[in-house]
Amino acid sequence: MRSFAFSKSFGVLCLVTLSMVSILHLVCGIGANWGTQSTHNLPPEILVKMLKDNGFQKVKLFDADYDTLKALGNSDIEVMVGIPNDMLTTLGSLKAAEKWVSKNVSIHLSDNNVNIRYVAVGNEPFLETYNGSYLRTTFPALQNIQTALVKAGHGNQVKVTVPLNADVYESASSLPSGGDFRAEIHDFVIQIVKFLSDNGCPFTINIYPFISLYIDSNFPVEYAFFDGNATPLNDGGTIYTNMFDANHDTLVWALKKNGFGNLPIIVGEIGWPTDGDRNANLQLAQRFNQGFMAHISEGKGTPMRPGPVDAYLFSLIDEDAKSIQPGNFERHWGIFAYDGRPKYLLNLGTTNSGSLVPASNVKYLERKWCVLKPDAKLDDPQIAPSVSYACARADCTSLGYGTSCGGLDARGNVSYAFNSYYQINDQLDDACKFSGLGTITKSDPSTPSCKFGITIEPYYGGAEPKLAYTRILLSLILLLWTIL
């Protein structure tokens, strides 16, 4: 669940399976990032079943939601629970850390039989865009969580780590062998690295070739993939044909130069989005993720780190409420859509079918959509503010140049915005008013490339009364907006 990040990760348990080309070889158990920044989350039980059906052996969370962790109980799936950055200051207190471990680790280990293996302290806290906000709060929180885990008797089973973005290191020579941690944060990173090493904990890094392509129009596209079509990079006789290996080994060199060359590495996030940008589409996402699976399946690792790669794919499912400050693609990283439908063919080497298994027992709302009235005129002065209102409160990231719905005409764009708002608000009649411009239809307005969604039933977990009140309040707000 990053901002401007570069990574995702996979599991390390290896098993023998048939590859896509029917050659017997080792495939490492795969992990997935499970984020929950969505307006309508699938019930955790459905997603846990989907994880198991697809052979995921590890999952990385961004918080410690009780219902999510309870659903993972007795699943044998290895779990990395997360501590958000905004909690790091509070956890500078050992007492607060002990309380957090008791509530979010101990209870689930003892009462719910959840296989918690890691606690991720923060999420990319040293990201350049944070301007040093968490530089001095991350390490104290890390120390205190580790102390609390040991005190609770979990020190051997549960390890701490800090998922960092790949922007924490760089290369003066543009070659992996020139790698070192950025000068301005060098001491902060080494402090964490030494602590991880002393306590037998891994270094977690997020690597995103897509982001490199997104921010640099001159980035060599083929170097992002694993097809061997890129111009090779020669680093003193070591040949690199893809960005992942080169980026990963830049970190290895940085660790080695600072005396920690054997520190275990987890790739916490790696993946490719499917919408929201001209380079974010189904074809490139399938090419990247399948290429990555093939690349790590033989257990060869990278030139500087031979052996199985421990990684978690980013991400399991789309999240339509994520911040789009880094880019519109942020809501489209999932290998599954919001409702648990596979987006494309992907062989993880974990199931007999060789393709993704969809979520089961998903409950949708009615098959109806909100669209612009056929007789509405596009020069109506209420069109622009209505679309702006809808897109600010819903999800219009599939509209725009190079996106899945980029080919819609003007009326289609308006209808897409209206429908997104209507669905996010649980198909409330008042959510399709738009100053009299909207109308509800049972005729699917989708096109071959652009899907007008139907939302899934709301999942409230243990908060039904509070959310029911919120929904009533929302209805009143919508009514007032249509009147005004």
- Domains (ranges, CATH) in the chain? 30-336 (3.20.20.80), 369-441 (no CATH)
Instruction: Retrieve residue 113's tokens.
Output: 């039989």
Number of separate helices (H) and strands (E) present in the chain: 12, 17
pLDDT, one tens digit per residue, over 291-329 is 999 999 888 899 999 999 999 999 999 999 999 999 999
Distance CA 474, CA 104 (A): 32
Average pLDDT for 267-288: 98
**Helix (H), strand (E), coil (C) string for 82-94:** EECHHHCCHHHCH
Average pLDDT for 62-67: 98
* SS3 at position 163: strand
Contacts of 476 (CB under 8 A, 6+ apart): none
Question: What does the mean pLDDT of the chain come to?
Answer: 91
Q: CA separation (Å) from 271 to 186, 197, 336, 337, 460?
A: 27, 27, 12, 15, 29
Map tokens 């399948």 to a residue. Answer: 290
- C-alpha closest to that of 32 among 56, 65, 62: 56
Average pLDDT for 219-244: 96
pLDDT at 332 (0 to 100): 98
pTM for the whole structure: 0.90
Q: Is residue 407 exposed (0-12), middle (13-18) or buried (19+ Cβ within 10 Å)?
A: exposed
The band of 30, judged by pLDDT with boundaries at 50, 70 and 90, is confident
pLDDT, one tens digit per residue, over 389-424 is 999 999 999 999 999 999 999 999 999 999 999 999
Map tokens 């999800």 to a residue. Answer: 395
pLDDT, one tens digit per residue, over 243-276 is 999 999 999 999 999 999 999 999 999 999 999 9
The answer to whether residue 204 scores a pLDDT higher than 50 is: yes
Q: Catalytic: which of 98, 269, 319, 330?
A: 269
φ/ψ of 266, rounded to 5, equals -110, 130
pLDDT at 477 (0 to 100): 55
Q: Catalytic: which of 45, 78, 98, 124?
A: 124
Report, in this order, helix, strand and coil percent for the chain, each rounded to 5: 35, 15, 50
* SS3 at position 286: helix
The reply to whether 128 belongs to the active site is no
pLDDT at 465 (0 to 100): 40
The reply to whether 319 belongs to the active site is no
Instruction: Give the ranges where 235-275 is alpha helix by DSSP (H).
Output: 243-257
